[in-house]
């Protein structure tokens, strides 16, 4: 089912209608799996390529970097906007998640999307709120860090992403590196299940002050927004310690924790140096190893995550891509 967008309302219509943002971009809004799958099948039948960007909406410049990358590499870009209830453990968290579909369609169109797939919950999970009988789980990768702090979170992510991939068919799928664990989990799922999807990881996008862009940032009060800079500051501190040459992983993690502790309003969940492939804690600090600094903390009641390659050249503060489904 295709819909037109009116202020704060999504109105079903019996035929295909296109929403035209002021920029002149032409965006088709689809609500059903069957219609979206048919549109993408037709695209490939015409010899064209498909790019998929899964999101939960509340889009911003970080998401735009994904759309722009996808549109530079694919003939048709489909952006999914779906607040997935399976990946939320706390009812208040999903209730507070921002929903801005009109603005999302406008932004996606300006950044190169041709389709916005925005299904209702009952389209993705017909029996909801009854438990979903079939879920996808990535053991090991999905059980630690965010998976340990938010039980069931990654099962929700991989289940909805697997459904989106089944709908989309052969395509490239674009995910931001800001949620580094999510990217690793999705890559493993695609490899293990032999799905015909190429996963493309895109760099994180940050504000000029270094805070990684996130849809959750809108929930930060001004004081909490300033305090949240402790996360990126801790990552830079950890990276500086790692590149010193004589530090151990515990030295790096202690430096990160100390940096966060200097900001009393930030509650640290974890700050760790891990192996980039399996996210296990690093046992040594070597420039030739593929390592990642990861961090999660609660600021003003809002859970935030971030990560950094300790040996990568410093990036401009404004470069970073939003994880699609966080």
Q: Which residues are catalytic?
A: 63
User: CA 240 to CA 232: how far, in whole Å?
Assistant: 12
CA 162 to chain centre: 15
Angle at 67 between CA 82 and CA 218, to 5 degrees: 55
SS3 state of residue 96: helix
Nearest Cα to 56, choosing from 164, 135, 152, 132?
164
Whether residue 294 contacts residue 271, with contact meaning beta carbons closer than 8 Å, is answered with yes
Cβ-count burial of 248 within 10 angstroms (0-12 exposed, 13-18 middle, 19+ buried)? middle
Instruction: Kindly report the length of the chain.
Output: 326
User: CA 67 to CA 61: how far, in whole Å?
Assistant: 10
What element of type H or E holds 10? strand 9-12
Q: What share of the chain is helix, strand, coil (3-state, %, to 5)?
A: 35, 20, 40
β partners of residue 5: 10
**Which distant-in-sequence residues (6+ apart) come within 8 Å of 79 by Cβ?**
53, 55, 63, 67, 104, 108, 113, 115, 116, 117
Whether residue 39 contacts residue 113, with contact meaning beta carbons closer than 8 Å, is answered with no
Rg (CA), the chain: 20
CA 257 to chain centre: 25
What element of type H or E holds 94? helix 91-96
């Amino acid at each position: 089912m295709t819909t037109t967008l009116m202020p704060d309302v999504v109105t079903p219509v019996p035929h295909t209608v296109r929403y035209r943002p002021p920029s002149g971009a032409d965006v088709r809004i689809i609500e059903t799996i069957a219609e979206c799958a048919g549109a993408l099948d037709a695209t490939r039948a015409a010899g064209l390529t498909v790019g998929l960007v899964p999101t939960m909406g509340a889009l911003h410049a970080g998401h735009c970097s994904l759309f722009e990358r996808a549109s530079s590499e694919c003939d048709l870009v489909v952006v999914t906007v779906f607040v997935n209830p399976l990946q939320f453990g706390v009812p208040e968290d999903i209730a507070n998640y921002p929903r801005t579909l009109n603005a999302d369609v406008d932004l996606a169109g300006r950044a190169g999307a041709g389709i916005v797939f925005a299904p209702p919950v009952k389209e993705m999970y017909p029996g909801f709120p009854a438990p979903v009988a079939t879920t996808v789980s990535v053991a090991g990768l999905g059980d630690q860090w965010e998976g340990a702090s938010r039980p069931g979170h990654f099962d929700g992510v991989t289940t909805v992403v697997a459904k989106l991939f089944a709908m989309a068919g052969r395509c490239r799928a674009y995910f931001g590196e800001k949620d580094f664990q999510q990217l690793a989990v999705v890559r493993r799922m695609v490899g293990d299940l032999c799905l015909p999807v190429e996963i493309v990881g895109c760099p994180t996008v940050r504000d000029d002050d270094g805070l990684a862009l996130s849809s959750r940032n809108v929930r930060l009060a001004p004081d909490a927004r300033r305090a949240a800079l402790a996360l990126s500051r801790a990552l830079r501190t950890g990276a500086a310690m790692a590149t010193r040459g004589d530090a151990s992983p515990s030295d790096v993690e202690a430096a990160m924790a100390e940096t966060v502790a200097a900001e009393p309003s930030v509650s640290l969940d974890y700050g760790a140096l891990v192996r980039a492939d399996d996210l296990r804690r690093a046992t040594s600090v070597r420039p030739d190893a593929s390592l990642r600094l990861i961090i999660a903390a609660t600021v003003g009641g809002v859970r935030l995550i971030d990560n950094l390659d300790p040996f990568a050249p410093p990036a401009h503060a404004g470069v970073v891509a939003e994880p699609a489904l966080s």
